[in-house]
Structure 1
């Protein structure tokens, strides 16, 4: 019987799926069962560290199964969707694994998302539940969850980490240890989800407005985790520090939290990559592996150069991805931090490329690696879809056993992003070298990549047009030495009108847009340049803002 969620997904053709099984790519084991292998083998070993909380593998498996049972007792059932908007912490890990065990599908929202994004995602996924912190800094996540529940008919369960209001359920109570360990395990094993069923929804960094939902099945995600673990040499001795938002594919499963737990290693979680706390944690826990986006890697390098800290002796590998790492920063990782750099270029839609730990320094520092799986297919094509030779930049197309064939309930987006024979076009412009390594050259789509967080220009423009005095709007990337890109907005206005950056920022905040999407510079012009076919010429605008920044002698921030 096809599940409700499966009905909105695009399946791999039967012959391909059979081939993936025959070749051992898909092992037909649900993700929830993989943790139990490590727990049975290493019950007393520490699995998760979060501040003063230390969970052994036996303790983690117990909490996971107990939580899965309690979620079902709340009235949730297999194939129901739950919005997960939690910061890095043990609660995120236990809840995610509990969902895998129960067949409940987590939708991986970001702590930075606000009403605008969450209401859309909750409605699209028809979520039954949402898990939030009570508050982070000065933002009341619980109040927002209550607003969503009032507005979205399907949403009737609110789980709150921290202090729960009347009518909501305290998440920590759901995640508490159970007393009937063997019985809980037997019940969940007997009702385990199919490995072909959706395991979780990741969010796209979409260019055409709000994020799209990426369906990842138990089979394809397990293979993603296995292959990235292999090329990162993960073992039960690996100690992983997770500081990037755990709901992103990179720190979650490339190999990330799940890869380390399935191998029997130790996961250490921090809510922020701030160097002082991160370095102290690396020393205290003897961390061997961590992930960073380029801006974080740069901050760590600068902090190490300033302090000469001896705290990084255990760190063996630093993975850097999310956006292109400048070569000059890449060359500093090993000499300054003492860790081998592993560049990672991938997408939540599937394909992961990485440099190998034993690659020559030139490959590690100047490329973004090559596919992690022998089964990954990659083409580099021109605007007409014709294959290009090595050394010539073009658009990347990919397909394979962990690259889904379409977005969830998004037929129009699927027509744009996927070819009829299953090739996914990510919008990245890359050059393939003769040795197979890829160099990321930019984007062919209208997207700003702010430190690894993707911002749709179209989405921001459509919101800015709510200001009556704005006649034309164009959101473009502007170069930034720390984040790679920031968002710059060009506008034209009605004669005699005045629209300021502050007005636009206030509108977007009131709309409930994530803070990272709010423009950081405004340029008001008499007219916007257009192409021969009448479209706004954003290439010219990007060149213009680069000139303005260079002429002013300032950074984009």
Structure 2
């Protein structure tokens, strides 16, 4: 098997160079968390093996094509690990995982952990530019993806081949009986001897340091591409265990993976890993439509799921109003809602209309997680985003000058704790602006804290768009649009939306040499236009003003994530300005 180009130093070594644990926690704090019993020395692969010993023949991963037991997943994980070893991947090397909601996602990440390597969690919606950035920053020499079947996935494959040809790509088919039996490596199917069943024989698992780099998660940002978040085994698994303690998922329950499996929310609050920790079953839902969600609840007797507010609202608005509560939810116990603020009006509807518990979750991939209390008072459940889940979480709310504010007064949320990072991965510029000198993470959220510690989010301090839980940097969309030959200038903002939380609005000033013939008139609403028919964008040769549809297609073709495509495109003559002549985004 041809070996991949493996970067050196690798991701783990870069993390070690910075000092402290992989997440930046100083050694004296690591020792303190050990003494408190917060850090237990666990690792992700050790967790899997321990629970597998208890429930080996029980189902653990189910999708529309396969149902796998714990032993099945272990068998596949060793095949993945040996495949990666054959490509030259060793302990501490990073591997990008960009897979859909399917059992192959679980097989891939535990296969990576089985050899002590480091997953980088990319989403299927990420474009080639994003993935190339992850590969260079981690650094990673291998990416695992699905055989491309839609236009976006094909654009990603083409873009990666052109932009970073040294990145080895493994393509697998989630629909196959044995997806790891015939992977496609750099466009060629691997030989049967390279991936034969004998290759499921486990290698000796490395003695992984629980403070070492476990994986790299992604953060939304206010500028450019996503930042990489370094999490250690000890810090993340504490977060998972603590989430299980404050939630109600139990052995025998069924967690439905509705949102992308690589999302931090889906993975750990309590999510996929929380389900595995207690021996529950994970069912992967292929799409988040209300019809599909209801079908999977019925077919698999689902008990729990995690949703962003737009998905919950779609579920509420699609029910049969003649039947209250919704009979299709009869096996469901709890829905966790987070990723963006849930309106009180929507929160109030969950219990009476769906007949299930609502537990709000306010968290971030960088660390801090807050939950409302199950069975708590209705005011807290509906109107707040909960309290920090760990007694060791430190929260402070400050004004613009950094001074603490009184309880109930809005201010900037800063946090520090055993599962909150102290630095980003290989990003000193972001570290300088995102962390205080005493190690608190500056979240960018404006919040109030009640007398009993409940946090309510009132806004964002950063210039960031939160579209249905996906964080988009306006600058990245602006930089993309400015490459269009017809565009003179552009300003991208988030605007309030009852369903998505925020939508992306692009105001565009065109170059003088372009005419208005053939242009869309006025404002054009894009909605969730992810699957539109492709329309070739016009170039400067035609000298015709492009339509809003063509502008959106230009963004899709550029390599940006699908969720970065503007919902609204509006052509204007000028932008609103502040008193000192700067573009006023708050007036757009």
Cα distance in 1 for partners of 2:312, 2:194 equals 33
Unpaired runs of at least 5, structure 1: 542-557
Which of 165, 168, 190 is equivalent to 1:156? 168
Report the CA distance shift for 1:170/1:139 in structure 2 as closer, same or farther (over 3 A).
Answer: farther
Cα deviation 1:180-206 (Å, max 9, x = unaligned): 98x727x11xx1321111111111011
Structure 1 residue 50 corresponds to structure 2 residue 50: no
Higher mean alpha-carbon deviation, 497-506 vs 434-443, is at 497-506
Instruction: Report how many aligned residue pairs link the two structures.
Output: 536
Question: Counterpart of 2:328 in 1: which secondary structure?
Answer: coil
5 Å-filtered alignment, 1:277-296, equals 277-296=292-311
Which of 79, 89, 93 is equivalent to 1:76? 89
Conserved? CA contact 1:160–1:169, under 8 Å? no
Q: Equivalent residue for 2:115?
A: 102
Conserved? CA contact 1:64–1:94, under 8 Å? yes
Conserved? CA contact 1:159–1:171, under 8 Å? no
Q: Equivalent residue for 1:25?
A: 38
Structure 1 residue 429 corresponds to structure 2 residue 441: no
Structure 1 residue 133 corresponds to structure 2 residue 146: yes
After TM superposition, the score normalised by the length of structure 1 is 0.90
1:83 is displaced (CA, Å) by: 1.1
Conserved? CA contact 2:78–2:199, under 8 Å? no
Conserved? CA contact 1:447–1:457, under 8 Å? yes
Which of 323, 339, 342 is equivalent to 2:356? 339
After TM superposition, the score normalised by the length of structure 2 is 0.85
| CA RMSD, Structure 1 to Structure 2 (Å) | 2.6
Q: Equivalent residue for 1:250?
A: 265
Q: Equivalent residue for 1:548?
A: none
Q: Equivalent residue for 1:7?
A: 17
Cα distance in 1 for partners of 2:45, 2:255 equals 20
Report the CA distance shift for 1:372/1:170 in structure 2 as closer, same or farther (over 3 A).
Answer: farther
Conserved? CA contact 1:129–1:159, under 8 Å? no
Unpaired runs of at least 5, structure 2: 1-8, 175-181, 516-544
1:446 is displaced (CA, Å) by: 0.8
Report the CA distance shift for 1:211/1:13 in structure 2 as closer, same or farther (over 3 A).
Answer: same
Conserved? CA contact 1:47–1:55, under 8 Å? yes
Conserved? CA contact 1:134–1:164, under 8 Å? no
1:466 is displaced (CA, Å) by: 2.5
Report the CA distance shift for 1:263/1:491 in structure 2 as closer, same or farther (over 3 A).
Answer: same
Which of 186, 191, 197 is equivalent to 2:212? 197
1:153 is displaced (CA, Å) by: 6.1
Higher mean alpha-carbon deviation, 80-89 vs 226-235, is at 226-235
Cα deviation 1:463-506 (Å, max 9, x = unaligned): 22224554442211112221111111123344564554345323
1:524 is displaced (CA, Å) by: 3.4
* Greater per-residue helix proportion: 1
Report the CA distance shift for 1:230/1:122 in structure 2 as closer, same or farther (over 3 A).
Answer: same
Q: Equivalent residue for 1:487?
A: 504
Cα distance in 2 for partners of 1:58, 1:219 equals 25
1:404 is displaced (CA, Å) by: 0.8
Which of 408, 419, 424 is equivalent to 1:407? 424
Structure 1 residue 275 corresponds to structure 2 residue 290: yes
Structure 1 residue 223 corresponds to structure 2 residue 245: no
1:282 is displaced (CA, Å) by: 1.1
Conserved? CA contact 1:390–1:431, under 8 Å? yes
Cα distance in 2 for partners of 1:174, 1:301 equals 51
Structure 1 residue 539 corresponds to structure 2 residue 586: yes
Structure 1 residue 184 corresponds to structure 2 residue 202: yes
Report the CA distance shift for 1:375/1:535 in structure 2 as closer, same or farther (over 3 A).
Answer: farther
Report the CA distance shift for 1:279/1:175 in structure 2 as closer, same or farther (over 3 A).
Answer: farther
1:43 is displaced (CA, Å) by: 1.8
Which of 417, 427, 435 is equivalent to 2:434? 417
Structure 1 residue 233 corresponds to structure 2 residue 248: yes
Question: Counterpart of 2:415 in 1: which secondary structure?
Answer: strand
Cα distance in 2 for partners of 1:108, 1:173 equals 28
Question: Counterpart of 1:530 in 2: which secondary structure?
Answer: coil
